Amino acid sequence: MSVRDRLPLLTAGLLAALTTAACGSDAGTGTAAGAGEEAADTIPVAATDDACDVATGELPAGTHQFQVTNSGNQVTEFYVYAEGDRVMGEVENIAPGLTRELLVELPAGDYEATCKPGMVGDGIRNALTVTGEAAQLSEDETLAQAGADYQRYVRSQTGALVEQTTAFADAVRAGDVEGAKALFPVARTYWERIEPVAEVFGDLDPRIDGREGDQAEGEDFTGYHRLEQALWVDGSTEGMAPYADQLQADVQEVAGLADDTTLDPLQLANGAKALLDEIATGKITGEEDRYSHTDLWDFAANLEGSEAAVQALRPYLEEADPDLVAEIDERFAATEAELEQYRSGDGWVLYDQLTQEQLRGLSDSITALTESVSRVAAVVADR
């Protein structure tokens, strides 16, 4: 939240660069390419708990539709990664038995089509070679593409955000305390990944993600954390239905706005840094989820979101400052490895179970990563 106060300052002169396209949100379907593009073909992907069979390993450059069927017992995800795990397209949260589509535009190059059963780890990867004319992009063009790349990522998240938040709100409305508790950190994951975009929209962020005591005089305490307090402190959802309704509506609104928002490269760089600051100021301290102690879910989500923003800039950075890219890659990997120690089942260890020494290890890795990511903005601005 503290970052919210700072972003408008950082980006005051850049908000003019926000562009609004006429695309609606597309909840429920993974989206990667701009709306209106026709897929040349449909590529079936058979996902199970231990396999990820992609019908082909070679494709011509262009827009393709992947059709992912999950016949395993675990929820899965499907990604198309470019080098450095830059997300070209992604479908989140494919429940067992479901089939979901992903529309993705792939220029010539080497990719990895990846399933993540259980939504954890590196996933099961398949090499995917896309042939055709490899566009030689200028630095300006790669920068221009970064915003569109990241927008694809945002759209891949907003669908799941709305879906999971709706499920969370449903559980609250139904008085299902345990069900709501289980959904709380999952719904927040999608929110925390894309917060730099969401917080561009003035009063929605505090309404959705404000913490108790953050409100101005006369403002109500609403959003995820209001419900978190009811679930964990009161152990009851009594009187919470209106808050669940409002959260669901607010999230739907922000998802629609975010889908239509293209961040400029400097905003991306600052957003990547801001997400790491969120970790340092809110998650390492246990402030974010002070009742549920599910801070590591948010930590992981912020980290993934930051990496997605950096990776969108990757084609440019690789030309402009390859040493920095190498350092950032290494430090993202180190932070992920540090965090990975605290995985517990499908989720994470609770914050209040972490020792000071363990928190220090997480903090050290974030501090180092932030030092590196903080240098991206100037490299971008050097254009």
Partner 1 sequence: MTEPSSPGRGLTRRRLFGLLGAGTAGVVAAGAAGGAIGRATADDAAAVAGPSPTDAVEFTGAHQAGIVTPAQDRLHFVAFDVTTDRREDLVEVLKAWTAAARRMTAGQDAGPVGAVAGSPYAPPDDTGEALGLPPSGLTLTVGFGPTLFTTTDGTDRFGLAARRPAPLAELPAFAGDQLDPAISGGDLCVQACANDPQVAVHAVRNLVRLGAGVVSVRWSQLGFGRTSSTSTGQATPRNLFGFKDGTDNLKAENTAALDRFVWVGNGDPGADWLAGGSYLVTRRIRMLVEPWDTSSLVEQEQTIGRAKGSGAPLGQRAEFDPVDFTKQVDGEFAVPERSHVFLAHPTNSGTAILRRGYSFVDGSDGLGRLDAGLFFIAFQRDPETGFVQVQRNLRTDAMNEYVRHTSSAVFACPPGVRGDDDWWGRALFTA
| Binding status of residue 14 toward partner 1 by CB under 8 A | no
Q: Specify whether the CB–CB gap between 80 and 32 falls below 8 A.
A: yes
CB-based burial, 295-320: b 16+ in 10 Å, e otherwise: bbbbbbbbbbbbbbbbbbbbbbbeeb
Distance CA 217, CA 78 (A): 45
What is the closest distance, in whole angstroms, from the C-beta atom of residue 121 to partner 1 in the complex? 24
Q: How far is CA 54 from CA 44, 49, 65, 79, 126, in A?
A: 6, 14, 12, 12, 7
| Binding status of residue 207 toward partner 1 by CB under 8 A | no
| Binding status of residue 368 toward partner 1 by CB under 8 A | yes
| Binding status of residue 20 toward partner 1 by CB under 8 A | no
The correct pick among 69, 252, 281, 374 for binding partner 1 (CB under 8 A) is: 374
What is the closest distance, in whole angstroms, from the C-beta atom of residue 327 to partner 1 in the complex? 8
Residues 257-286 that bind partner 1 (CB under 8 A): 266
The correct pick among 21, 40, 127, 378 for binding partner 1 (CB under 8 A) is: 378
| Binding status of residue 355 toward partner 1 by CB under 8 A | no
Q: Which residue has the tokens 């993705």?
A: 104
What is the closest distance, in whole angstroms, from the C-beta atom of residue 311 to partner 1 in the complex? 20
Q: In the complex with partner 1, which residue's Cβ is closer, 137 or 368?
A: 368
Distance CA 180, CA 375 (A): 40
Task: Identify which of 299, 347, 26, 292 has the alpha carbon closest to the alpha carbon of residue 163.
Answer: 26
Please count the residues of this chain forming the interface with partner 1, following the rule CB under 8 A: 21
What is the closest distance, in whole angstroms, from the C-beta atom of residue 306 to partner 1 in the complex? 16
Q: In the complex with partner 1, which residue's Cβ is closer, 51 or 381?
A: 381
The correct pick among 110, 319, 352, 364 for binding partner 1 (CB under 8 A) is: 364
| Binding status of residue 375 toward partner 1 by CB under 8 A | yes
> Regarding beta strands 62-70 and 58-60, do their DSSP bridges make them parallel or antiparallel, or are they unpaired?
unpaired
| Binding status of residue 325 toward partner 1 by CB under 8 A | no
Binding site for partner 1 (CB under 8 A): 266, 331, 334, 356, 360-361, 364-365, 367-372, 374-375, 377-378, 380-382
